[in-house]
């Protein structure tokens, strides 16, 4: 996964074009690096799965 692909997925989650995205173990570090650069990073929720994958959703206010 490239940084541009990760940013595109983040944008799609933020704009509710997709409800969730499954990040593979191999793509996790690149996706996480792009995510940590976002101002609204805390609105993204990552749910760890077996095998090192994670499912990300966009849920503003979930950490309050």
Confidence of residue 61 (pLDDT cuts 50, 70, 90): confident
**Tokens 């541009």 found at:** 4
Q: What does the pLDDT look like over 4-33, one tens digit per residue?
A: 999 999 999 999 999 999 999 999 999 999
Confidence of residue 63 (pLDDT cuts 50, 70, 90): confident
Task: State the pLDDT at residue 34.
Answer: 97
- pTM of the predicted structure, to 2 decimals: 0.89
Task: State the pLDDT at residue 59.
Answer: 94
Tokens linked to 64: 């309050």
> Does the pLDDT of residue 64 top 80, yes or no?
no
First vs last C-alpha separation in the chain: 31
């Amino acid at each position: 996964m490239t940084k541009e692909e990760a940013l595109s997925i983040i944008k799609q989650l933020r704009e509710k074009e997709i409800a969730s995205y499954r990040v593979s173990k191999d793509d996790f570090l690149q996706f996480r690096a792009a995510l940590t650069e976002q101002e609204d990073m805390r609105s993204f929720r990552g749910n760890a799965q077996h095998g090192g994958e994670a499912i990300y959703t966009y849920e503003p206010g979930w950490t309050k």
